[in-house]
Structure 1
Amino acid sequence: MAEVCRRLGARRGKPLKLSPYPLDVPGPFGLWIATPVVDFILYQQETTNAHQQHIIAHELGHIISGHSSDDGDEAGWYESFPDIPPDHVRRALRRTHYETDQEREAETVATLLLERAAVLEQVALPSQTPRARRAQQALGEQQDWL
């Protein structure tokens, strides 16, 4: 997901900064904070690596889908993140349920991103047998959509 963030940031002309953070439990596992010059994806540092990758992919789903904040999403988060000036925050998403179309869409994009990452990891593995190498040559290179 770090590579997806790098590529998406380059494509959008604004970097995406990933930050593990001890988010309160219960509460959201991830948070996207958009500013004019950088976007932040904060994710729960107190969970497994696989869960962290899913959280990041979900927040990327919001960005890729062009989701906006709901009323009140920005309220109350400024005290928790003193490094981000409140007047720079343009958007913040921090939901804890999947009852909205935006949340379901972000979850679908996250699933697609993680599936694609898994495929690319398998393709990147070196072929050990002549038969496997022939199969890779016949199938050609994977074309990534990001």
Structure 2
Amino acid sequence: MPVPGPYGAWIATGTADYVLYQQNTTKPHQDHIILHEVGHILAGHRNDEDHPDEALWQQEMPDISPRTIRRALRRTSYEAVEEREAELIATIVLGWASVLDHVAPHAASEPSLRRIQAALGDRRGWL
């Protein structure tokens, strides 16, 4: 049973980006959540509006800056352009990944052919 609340969050710090995702859901849904958050990173979304839960999160995670918490909490609906962009990125990446799963060459079982594949590069498509 899914836990109430956001399915995922992106927390950017000065040294790393962290993507948090719902543990109690299916693997395909987790993949989509993660790619949605990565979509925010790829699109360069940076919005630091105030959020009503900011004080609670700051109390729970005092080592994370209020600006970082605001950025993570601002995304709560798909009305925002940034949310639709992140969702589109996740959908496109998952779509291409499923296509590449079907068309990408599999590793050869013969050792000499595997060496040739390695020399030529393991091309998985132009994505």
TM-score (norm 2): 0.70
Please say if 1:66 is aligned against 2:28. Answer: no
Please say if 1:108 is aligned against 2:83. Answer: no
Amino acid at match of 1:44: Q
Query: Is the 8 Å Cα contact of residues 61 and 110 (structure 1) preserved in structure 2?
Result: yes
Counterpart of 2:72? 93
Please say if 1:28 is aligned against 2:11. Answer: no
Rounded to whole Å, the distance in 1 between the matches of 2:66 and 2:13 is 5
Greater fraction strand? 1
Greater fraction helix? 2
Amino acid at match of 2:31: Q
Please say if 1:57 is aligned against 2:35. Answer: yes
Where structure 2 has 5 or more consecutive residues not aligned to the other structure, the ranges are: 108-122
Identity of aligned residues (%): 43
**RMSD after superposition:** 2.7
| Count, aligned residues | 107
Counterpart of 2:22? 44
Rounded to whole Å, the distance in 2 between the matches of 1:89 and 1:49 is 31
Q: Which runs of 4+ in 1 moved over 6 A?
A: none
After superposition, the Cα gap between the structure-2 partners of 1:121 and 1:71, relative to the gap in structure 1 and judged at 3 Å, is same
Between structure 1 and structure 2, the one with the greater Rg is 2
Query: Is the 8 Å Cα contact of residues 30 and 44 (structure 1) preserved in structure 2?
Result: yes
Query: Is the 8 Å Cα contact of residues 32 and 40 (structure 1) preserved in structure 2?
Result: yes
- Correspondence 1:101-140 to 2 at 5 A: 101-124=81-104, 126=106
Counterpart of 2:125? 142
TM-score (norm 1): 0.61
